[in-house]
């Protein structure tokens, strides 16, 4: 089957492939990536369910600490099913330890070993990109012709990462927004309102959150009550729409003196200094209901439900800064990197298109929702994890790029001195970690770390 026919069939064959794949377990003015409106045709007959023959040009060597291929007995992801069955693609995984990924990558590049695709994570941009570990993807998307509009919704996100007019990071979706989980049973009983309703009304900001926490504590002033548990500092910084380190398309800039960053650090410190923060390490919403909000990525929602089945849990993004013009969020940017000197740029670009189809095609999205709502139980029959349809719909709303604006602070992708955990003590962590924890006043952190940021930026801008 020709490439053009396969592209048409890809859009129409989604319903054929999704049934099996759904059971699986994980505008650019400067870009050549096309963003025209998709045209769905009656070309379903182009794909009869017979997998394409393996194409050597579509064989990718993937270096990572996890495999994109399913384990034995587990169904393929929707993206992998399309890549294999429509394009004849294959992914060969070279496993490496999480902490050795970049050393292994550099070694393989320098020795001329075959390696084509690599995970996109904070360290990939700007660090990996600006130090020459990856190649741009634009030429390969351009070579493949009209892109049927698959990427139109992601244009602004793509351009966030455009480096010297080229796109090394081509996100096919965003995921795992940093959220606050809360119990509507608790907020109703306390008479303090519903954060989700405030979000829907455009009234969910720092002041609204602080007012709720204050009322919650004052309702039982002698009880050990807290406002927030979990990791919220990164979301607080992002909620301003400003970044500690910004990127103009070619160089990095130190923005630690930005007044909006100062306000965010001040909020983080205020929460801690008021005794509103619970430092107890948890991976679920606290079942004792002595804490109003549990801050984490959306990954914790299913297990929080299982741990609190009667709490009527709901989620909401970290509230916006009262001075912000939009709802800004911190989240994951899902993509794959094309490794320097790879001969499989077209194959990697094709695989990214398959991921984008899985994330955007309505048939595949419906199948993904159906799978997400499957209740997972232990051998005893008790819930291990579950998500309600109402929660799922809320999460999709918080990932809707017409309603939220993702923020990426380059400081999180500049190496250990900027974002590392050190030896897991407060004073040994990197600059971004320290800012997000606000163990000192903003003025102290600014004065202590401004020169550190300048020194790290100089390594990339020089």
Q: For the segment 321-352, what is each residue's pLDDT rounded down to a tens digit?
A: 999 999 999 999 999 999 999 999 999 999 99
Q: Write down the pLDDT at residue 272.
A: 96
Decide: 195 and 188 in contact? Cβ < 8 Å. no
Q: Write down the pLDDT at residue 9.
A: 52
* Residue 182: strand pairing partners: 314
Q: Write down the pLDDT at residue 414.
A: 96
Q: Write down the pLDDT at residue 75.
A: 86
Q: For the segment 255-287, what is each residue's pLDDT rounded down to a tens digit?
A: 999 999 999 999 999 999 999 999 999 999 999
Q: Which of 2-6, 22-26, 175-179, 387-391 has the lowest mean pLDDT?
A: 22-26
Q: What is the distance between the alpha carbons of residues 170 and 454, in angstroms, rounded to a whole number?
A: 28
What average pLDDT does this structure show over 431-438?
Answer: 96
- 42: confidence class by pLDDT, cuts 50, 70, 90: very low
Mean pLDDT (the chain) is: 89
The pairing of beta strand 332-334 with beta strand 117-119: unpaired
pLDDT at 163 over 50: yes
- 383: confidence class by pLDDT, cuts 50, 70, 90: confident
The residue count of the chain comes to 462
- 439: confidence class by pLDDT, cuts 50, 70, 90: very high
> For residue 125, how many other CB atoms are within 10 A of its CB?
25
pTM for the model stands at 0.89
Side-chain half-sphere exposure of 97, counting CA atoms within 13 A:
3
């Amino acid at each position: 089957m020709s490439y053009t026919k396969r592209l048409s069939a890809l859009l129409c064959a989604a319903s054929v492939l999704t049934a099996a794949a759904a059971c699986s377990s994980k505008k650019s003015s400067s870009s050549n990536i096309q963003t025209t409106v998709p045209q769905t045709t009656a070309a379903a007959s182009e794909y009869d369910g017979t997998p394409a023959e393996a194409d050597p040009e579509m064989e990718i060597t993937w270096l990572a600490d996890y495999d994109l291929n399913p384990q034995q007995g587990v169904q393929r992801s929707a993206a992998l099913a399309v890549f294999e069955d429509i394009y004849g693609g294959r992914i060969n995984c070279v496993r490496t330890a999480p902490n050795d990924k970049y050393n292994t990558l550099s070694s393989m590049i320098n020795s001329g070993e075959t390696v084509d695709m690599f995970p996109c994570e904070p360290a990939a941009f700007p660090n990996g990109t600006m130090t020459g570990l990856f190649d741009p993807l634009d030429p390969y998307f351009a070579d493949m012709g009209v892109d049927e509009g698959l990427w139109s919704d992601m244009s602004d996100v793509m351009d966030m990462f455009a480096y010297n007019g080229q796109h090394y990071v081509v996100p096919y979706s965003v995921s795992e927004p940093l959220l606050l989980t809360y119990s509507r049973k608790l907020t109703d009983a306390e008479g303090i309102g519903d954060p989700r309703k405030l979000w829907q009304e455009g009234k969910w900001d720092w002041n609204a959150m602080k007012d709720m926490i204050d009322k919650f504590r004052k309702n039982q002033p002698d009880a050990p009550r807290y406002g927030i548990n979990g990791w919220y500092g990164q979301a607080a910084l992002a909620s301003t729409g400003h970044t500690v380190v910004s990127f103009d398309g070619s160089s990095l800039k130190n923005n630690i003196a930005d007044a909006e960053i100062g306000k965010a650090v001040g909020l983080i410190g205020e929460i801690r200094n008021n005794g509103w923060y619970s430092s107890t390490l948890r991976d679920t919403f606290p079942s004792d209901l002595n804490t109003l909000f549990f801050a984490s990525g959306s990954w914790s929602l299913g297990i929080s439900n299982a741990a609190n089945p009667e709490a009527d849990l709901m989620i909401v993004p970290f509230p916006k800064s009262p001075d912000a013009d939009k709802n800004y969020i911190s989240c994951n940017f899902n993509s794959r990197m094309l490794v320097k000197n790879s001969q499989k740029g077209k194959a990697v670009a094709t695989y990214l298109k398959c991921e984008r189809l899985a994330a955007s095609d309505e048939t595949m999205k419906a199948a993904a929702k159906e799978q997400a709502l499957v209740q997972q139980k232990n051998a005893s029959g008790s819930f291990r994890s579950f998500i309600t349809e109402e929660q799922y719909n809320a999460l999709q709303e918080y990932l809707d790029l017409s309603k939220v604006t993702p923020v990426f602070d380059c400081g999180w992708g500049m190496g250990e001195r900027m974002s590392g955990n050190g030896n897991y003590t407060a004073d040994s962590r990197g600059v971004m970690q320290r800012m997000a924890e606000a163990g000192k006043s903003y003025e102290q952190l600014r004065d202590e770390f401004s020169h550190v940021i300048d020194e790290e930026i100089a390594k990339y801008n020089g």
